[in-house]
């Protein structure tokens, strides 16, 4: 895996990546996306913005999930959390 060019913009990142096999792209970007999210969480950048996992323009109570086995509902105001370390 070789990152040949990197450009960090205000709201997105450009990467020019070369690899020997196409399957390595998926593994690389899965890890990179997770590490970026962990860094944002650590720096507190998610606290000021909207929910990370929500759909835009979705009412907050629509994000609650239900467990059909026992009828319990998750809290709709729970803050989305990210893993602090890769498993």
Q: How many CA atoms lie within 13 A of 45 on its CB side?
A: 9
Q: Are 65 and 74 in contact (CB under 8 A)?
A: yes
13-67 pLDDT tens trace: 898 999 999 888 888 889 988 888 888 888 887 766 555 555 555 555 444 444 4
E strand or H helix at 5, and its extent? Answer: strand 2-8
Assigned domain for 61 exists: no
Residue 42 belongs to some domain of the structure: yes
The CA distances from residue 34 to 19, 29, 38, 63, 83, in Å, are 20, 8, 6, 22, 9
Residue 69 lies in a domain: no
In a domain, 59, yes or no: no
9 within some domain: yes
Residue 33 belongs to a domain: yes
4 pLDDT more than 90: yes
Domain assignment present for residue 86? The answer is no
Q: How many domains does the chain have?
A: 1
pLDDT at position 51: 54
Q: Which domain holds residue 29?
A: 1-50
pLDDT at 82: 60
> Is residue 30 domain-resident?
yes
């Amino acid at each position: 895996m070789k990152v040949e060019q990197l450009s960090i913009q205000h709201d997105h990142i450009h990467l020019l990546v070369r690899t020997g096999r196409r399957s390595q792209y998926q593994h690389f970007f899965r890890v990179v996306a997770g590490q970026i999210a962990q860094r944002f969480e650590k720096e507190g950048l998610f606290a000021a913005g909207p929910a990370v996992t929500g759909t835009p323009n979705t009412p907050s109570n629509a994000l609650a999930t239900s467990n059909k086995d026992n009828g319990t509902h998750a809290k709709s105001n729970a803050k989305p959390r990210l893993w602090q370390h890769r498993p």
